[in-house]
């Protein structure tokens, strides 16, 4: 029942290229019975979306539950098995890391798998096996969960991806011309834009989203240590023309394209759950359908659901995934 906010000092994130802190605050929600016995529990690692971190999952908003409140309610009503929920902080100066290693942002994938997982197993009474470990998330967190599951099935036995970033052609590319417009006053020089943005009182202005998001994704998907800013934009900053070499690097990290390269690993998962709203503002329902169709063709067991809603404020979908996970994590 209590949520403890752990202070974790990362070795891997120390001296990361963006100067982001290597000491992170990581909320861990413990199940109701945790304090009253010696039982061991499965662990759900819950990845936040772009601009979020573990602590933002505890934010209080009107008429809504926090993640711990939701879990407690579900456990009380018998729809969810008691589990430990770990909420990592992989926020970066640009808004997020996509939970990948990148020379432009830091080694967040390693941080998750090599540091956090062992530390959680040491610090809490977990069932320290992949079969009792799930990774899940929404939006960028859903992306992260999928990629972790594809690459580290020996760590994660179950994967839940809610409204995850997918089919970059529809979810990122339409932002490129808008990003170009926002870079225009800086003559297309992204480092000038970033410098100006650093000084803005309202850095999260929705009007800037196309630029911030594109920059953040470029730092994750097309890092380039040879250039001062540390990453390549996927387009020419003046004409806007796609740079095929860079864009291909992005596409190589699109889950829709990754699936075929990770068939054997994906087959090891106990649960692979995907969902998306049919009115998703980033059109992620289409990428999710493509991935589901590829999984079907590749013979990979999965659950694919759609619901009548958009991208934002759909945490009520966790009711569904927490319930499914409870069964998957319980199986021996």
Interface contacts to a second copy, rule CB under 8 A? 51-53, 55-56, 58-64, 91, 95, 167, 169-170, 173-174, 176-178, 180-181, 184, 201-205, 238-242, 278-279, 283, 286-287, 289-290, 293, 309, 313-314, 316
We find the least distance from the C-beta atom of residue 26 to a second copy, in angstroms, to be: 13
Q: Name the residue among 244, 253, 295, 243 with its Cα closest to residue 274.
A: 295
We find the least distance from the C-beta atom of residue 235 to a second copy, in angstroms, to be: 9
Contacting residues for 107 by C-beta, under 8 A, at least 6 apart? 12, 13, 16, 101
We find the least distance from the C-beta atom of residue 319 to a second copy, in angstroms, to be: 9
User: In this complex, which beta carbon is closest to a second copy, that of residue 142 or of residue 153?
Assistant: 142
We find the least distance from the C-beta atom of residue 122 to a second copy, in angstroms, to be: 26
We find the least distance from the C-beta atom of residue 314 to a second copy, in angstroms, to be: 7
Task: Please state at what angle helix 209-221 crosses helix 176-183, rounded to 10 degrees.
Answer: 110
User: In this complex, which beta carbon is closest to a second copy, that of residue 41 or of residue 99?
Assistant: 99
Inter-CA distances, 103 with 22, 221, 224, 228, Å: 15, 10, 7, 12
We find the least distance from the C-beta atom of residue 328 to a second copy, in angstroms, to be: 24
User: In this complex, which beta carbon is closest to a second copy, that of residue 33 or of residue 59?
Assistant: 59
Task: Please state at what angle helix 67-76 crosses helix 318-330, rounded to 10 degrees.
Answer: 60
CB atoms within 10 A of CB 169: 16
Rounded CA-CA distance 104/122 in Å is 30
User: In this complex, which beta carbon is closest to a second copy, that of residue 51 or of residue 222?
Assistant: 51
User: In this complex, which beta carbon is closest to a second copy, that of residue 21 or of residue 174?
Assistant: 174
Q: Which two tokens stand for residue 330?
A: 């319980």
User: In this complex, which beta carbon is closest to a second copy, that of residue 126 or of residue 213?
Assistant: 213
User: In this complex, which beta carbon is closest to a second copy, that of residue 153 or of residue 254?
Assistant: 254
We find the least distance from the C-beta atom of residue 253 to a second copy, in angstroms, to be: 17
E-strand stretches of the chain: 3-9, 23-29, 43-47, 84-86, 101-102, 106-107, 133-138, 158-162, 271-277, 303-307
Virtual CA dihedral for 231, 237, 240, 241, nearest 10 degrees?
A: -60
Give the distance, in angstroms, between the CA of residue 254 and the centroid of all CA atoms in the same chain: 13
Q: What size, in residues, is the chain?
A: 332
Rounded CA-CA distance 257/259 in Å is 6
User: In this complex, which beta carbon is closest to a second copy, that of residue 279 or of residue 327?
Assistant: 279
We find the least distance from the C-beta atom of residue 155 to a second copy, in angstroms, to be: 27
């Amino acid at each position: 029942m209590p949520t403890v906010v752990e202070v974790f000092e990362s070795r891997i994130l120390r001296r990361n290229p963006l100067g982001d802190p290597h000491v992170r605050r990581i909320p861990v929600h413990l199940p109701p019975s945790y304090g009253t016995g010696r039982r061991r529990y499965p662990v759900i690692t819950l990845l936040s979306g772009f601009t979020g971190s573990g602590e933002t999952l505890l934010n209080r908003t009107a008429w809504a539950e926090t993640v711990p409140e939701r879990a407690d309610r579900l456990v009380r009503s018998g729809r969810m098995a008691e589990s430990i929920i770990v909420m990592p902080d992989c926020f970066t100066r640009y808004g997020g890391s996509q939970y990948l290693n990148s020379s432009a942002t830091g080694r967040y994938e390693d941080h998750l798998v090599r540091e956090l997982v062992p530390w959680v197993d040491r610090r809490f009474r977990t069932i320290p096996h992949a079969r009792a470990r799930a990774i899940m998330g929404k939006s960028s967190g859903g992306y992260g969960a999928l990629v972790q599951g594809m690459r580290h099935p020996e760590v994660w036995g179950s994967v839940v991806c809610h409204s995850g970033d997918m089919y970059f052609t529809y979810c990122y590319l339409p932002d490129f011309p808008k990003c170009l417009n926002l870079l225009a006053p800086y003559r297309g020089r992204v480092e000038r834009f970033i410098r100006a943005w650093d000084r803005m009182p309202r850095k999260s202005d929705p009007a800037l989203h196309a630029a911030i998001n594109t920059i953040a994704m470029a730092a994750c998907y097309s890092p380039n240590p040879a250039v001062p800013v540390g990453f390549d934009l996927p387009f020419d900053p003046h004409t806007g023309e796609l740079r095929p070499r860079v864009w291909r690097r992005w596409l190589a990290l699109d889950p829709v394209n990754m699936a075929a390269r990770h068939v054997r690993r994906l087959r090891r998962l106990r649960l692979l759950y995907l969902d998306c709203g049919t009115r998703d503002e980033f059109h992620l329902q289409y990428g999710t359908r493509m991935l589901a169709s590829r999984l079907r063709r590749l013979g990979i067991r999965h659950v694919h659901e759609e619901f009548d809603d958009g991208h934002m404020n759909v945490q009520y979908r966790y009711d569904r995934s927490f319930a499914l996970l409870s069964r998957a994590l319980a199986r021996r």
